[in-house]
Amino acid sequence: MISGSLLINKEKGLTSRQEVNNISRLLGEKKAGHIGTLDPFADGLLIVLLGKATKISPFLEGMDKTYLATLKLGVQTDTGDLTGNLVSRREIPSLNRQMIEEVFNSFVGEQEQLPPMYSALKVNGKELYKYARQGQEVERKVRKINIYELKLISFKDDEITFLSKVSKGTYIRTLGEDIAVKLGTVGHLTSLTRLAVGPFSLENAKASKDVKEEDLIAVEKMLSFMKSFEVTGDLIKMAKNGMHFRLPIEDELVLLTENKNAIAVYKRESNGVYSCVRGLL
């Protein structure tokens, strides 16, 4: 079984799942998944997990993400991006850089966001975009998100390009629409590129067609942001069996290794005892 992670530069026009399937066929590993869905019109960093590495997805999904997006003002689409159908047009007020930056600053911090109908989020076991394609509006729950950074890159005529660093679950299409409304008009995204997921950068990514087995990143390296502890003696068997025990550390999460190879992720409980969160063998 092939096991490890890949940093992929997702191609525009493909779904995230299509990119994963392409890699699965290319490397001959059926067990495959990805972290954070990118819309078909978007490109950029997609973390793909293969084999046993799929077990570490819960520890990567919560990472912050950084995007570069272009927002076209004055035109609204039903999807919030350039692939959708025209919904409305609205005049664009006279804007300047200072006005835009003030609006940007108002979005920074914790807030609530309503997921768009055109998204892969499931309601009653069915993706929202499937309801939307049938002309149905489904009740959705707002999500708490955090926008850590929102930076104006350029502004010309009816287009704004911006950089955003956001928490898990943030929809940049919705953020773009909300920015447009606060500027006194409507808008939609014409481009979206994911630049980073946590410490992982697009600069180190490859096109799916160019990846090779030697490009796989080991679980230990993918979880390098986590405290690592080398177990020896009786603790090796205990860790492999998911047993509880104490460790001479106080970190909440710890990656247990044997000869620097990942065994499991353990969590410190309130009583100081560590319990197994996820076995990685």
Residue 139 amino acid letter: E
- How crowded is the C-beta side of 198, counted as CA atoms within 13 Å? 16
For residue 97, give both structure tokens.
């850089």
Whole-angstrom distance, CA of residue 80 vs CA of residue 190: 9
**Residues linked to residue 49 through DSSP beta bridges, in sequence order:** 5, 33
Looking at residue 45, the DSSP 8-state letter turns out to be E
Helix orientation angle between 97-107 and 172-182, rounded to the nearest 10 degrees? 130
Closest CA to 49 of 31, 25, 26: 31
Catalytic residue among 39, 43, 81, 157: 39
- How crowded is the C-beta side of 104, counted as CA atoms within 13 Å? 21
Closest CA to 41 of 72, 4, 79, 3: 79
For residue 111, give both structure tokens.
């807030």
For residue 37, give both structure tokens.
């869905």
Closest CA to 51 of 79, 30, 80, 21: 30
Whole-angstrom distance, CA of residue 4 vs CA of residue 62: 19
> Could you give the residue ranges of the DSSP H alpha helices within the chain?
16-27, 57-60, 97-107, 128-133, 172-182, 219-222, 234-240
Active site residue 78: no
Positions marked active-site: 39
